[in-house]
Amino acid sequence: MKRVAIVVLILLALVGFLGWAIYQDSGYVLISYDRFRYESSFWIFIGLIACLWLLSMAVHWVLGLLHASGTLVNPWSRRHHARRVAKASRSGLRELAEGQWSHALGHLRTAAEHDRQPLVHYLGAARAASELGDYEQSDELLRKAREREPEAGLAVGLTQAQLQIARGQYGEARESLNALRDGYPRHSYVLTLLQQLYVQLQDWPALCQLLPELRKHRVLTPARLDELELLAWTAALEQVGQAPATTPEDALQALDQRWQTVPGKLRNEPLLVRAYTDGLSRIGADEKAEQVLHAALKRQFDDRLVERYGRVRGREPSRQLAQAEAWLKAHPENAELLLALGRLSLRNELWGKARDYLEASLRLEHRAQTCAELARLLAQLGDNERSNRLFQEGLGLLDQSSVSRLQAIGS
């Protein structure tokens, strides 16, 4: 209130001063140019100038108001255009996240065609088109993204490879990723996608060749890399061991060549030794498989290799049995070793010894394989009643094992 009162007093003072000045002297103004002649009092001239100034300010304000309202109303104005693009972008990205592919495609195409930075919109629209099964439009959108933003080749290439993998176009995805790898050899995500693709294709030799790059650039944790390396080389050996060949000699040569490519630090791994010897047994090279298993077990005793040792047929079954019995001194209660000894005793036609070993293994661990071996032996010896019971017990153990595996998969 005090401020208002002060302002009012000041205005009154100014008006009073102006009235006093006009009363004292009205003044005189004369403007003459050629035939034009204007004359008035000084204060009227000042009033006229003030009115013209106020009129110009009013016109400027009205024009500004008209321009602002025209921008809001005119659908082709720059401001309205930017708002439409922003709205299409927000809607398209939300619909893309929600899986509304058709709506997302339309909105993101609109945003991409009118935005100065269209990359994200083109990539999202390409994904939406791919999800709709319109692969041709999806590839066209990626091509436009490359044209509009040439410096974003890596982002476009990665999106293209991901979409190709999702479509099942593994050959095209492999070409795309190899091209990206040539241009960006250290890019971790390119290497990660290649690793995933090789697993999908079960191209184990290619994955084995990629492993050093994965380790060098620390794409995965060391523990995960060690696990992947072991599984990849195991699968590579199993794959070549199961591949058809024209002759056993060719199969043996292919298997040996693959074994020679295995890194030296892995050749003592039981999983790899087992895969190699399984391949040897499959092509009829049991004698070599027995030698490899014998050498591996001398270096490191492992239940998985012991089980395989009891299956293979060495050159001298009696010597093989003697060697396994020597291991029994250090591992007297090993169910796998006792099962292997039972099998080796059967091969040497030592029925009583085989029965003792198999029954000892069964006492330590009830396994379907042991039940089956002992049941066959008892049937051969004429004990059909117990043989039948063991067969039934073995079938029950197989059923339990199947249920356990299914539960593990489900969990």
Q: For residue 17, is it within any domain?
A: no
**Domain end position, chosen among 315, 349, 366:** 315
* pLDDT on residue 72: 46
**Domain end position, chosen among 283, 315, 347:** 315
CA dihedral (264, 269, 275, 277) positive or negative? positive
Report d(CA 52, CA 58) in Å as an integer: 10
Q: For residue 298, is it within any domain?
A: yes
In sequence order, the β-bridge partners of residue 30 are 39
> Does residue 358 sit in helix, strand or coil?
helix
* pLDDT on residue 373: 86
Q: Are the C-beta atoms of residues 259 and 268 closer than 8 Å to each other?
A: no
Phi, psi (deg, nearest 5) at residue 187: -75, 120
Considering the domain architecture, whether residues 360 and 256 belong to the same structural domain is answered as no
Range of the domain at 365: 333-402
* pLDDT on residue 61: 80
* pLDDT on residue 88: 86
Considering the domain architecture, whether residues 355 and 293 belong to the same structural domain is answered as no
Number of H helices, E strands in the chain: 20, 2
Chain centre to alpha carbon of residue 44 = 84
* pLDDT on residue 26: 65
Q: What is the CATH number of the domain that holds 380?
A: 1.25.40.10
Report d(CA 103, CA 92) in Å as an integer: 7
Name the maximum alpha-carbon separation found in the chain: 150
Q: For residue 35, is it within any domain?
A: no
Considering the domain architecture, whether residues 307 and 347 belong to the same structural domain is answered as no
Q: For residue 342, is it within any domain?
A: yes
Considering the domain architecture, whether residues 287 and 220 belong to the same structural domain is answered as yes
Considering the domain architecture, whether residues 209 and 309 belong to the same structural domain is answered as yes
Total domain count, the chain: 2
Considering the domain architecture, whether residues 311 and 228 belong to the same structural domain is answered as yes
* pLDDT on residue 409: 36
Tens of each residue's pLDDT in the chain, 411 residues: 677 778 777 777 776 766 666 666 666 666 777 777 777 776 677 777 778 878 888 887 877 666 555 444 455 445 566 788 888 889 989 999 999 999 999 999 998 888 888 999 999 999 999 999 999 999 999 999 999 999 999 999 999 999 999 999 999 999 999 999 999 999 999 999 999 999 999 999 999 999 999 999 999 999 999 999 999 999 999 998 777 766 888 889 999 999 999 999 999 999 999 999 999 999 889 999 999 999 999 999 999 999 999 999 988 999 999 999 999 999 999 999 999 999 999 999 999 999 999 999 999 988 888 888 888 988 888 888 888 888 888 788 776 654 444 344 344
Q: Is the whole-model pTM more than 0.75? A: no
Considering the domain architecture, whether residues 310 and 262 belong to the same structural domain is answered as yes
Q: What is the CATH number of the domain that holds 267?
A: 1.25.40
* pLDDT on residue 103: 93
Q: For residue 272, is it within any domain?
A: yes
Q: For residue 357, is it within any domain?
A: yes
**Domain end position, chosen among 315, 346, 375:** 315
Q: How many Cβ atoms are within 10 Å of 188's Cβ, its own excluded?
A: 13
Q: For residue 389, is it within any domain?
A: yes
Q: Where are the beta strands (DSSP E) in 219-344?
A: none
Considering the domain architecture, whether residues 369 and 302 belong to the same structural domain is answered as no
* pLDDT on residue 392: 87
Q: For residue 358, is it within any domain?
A: yes
* pLDDT on residue 78: 52
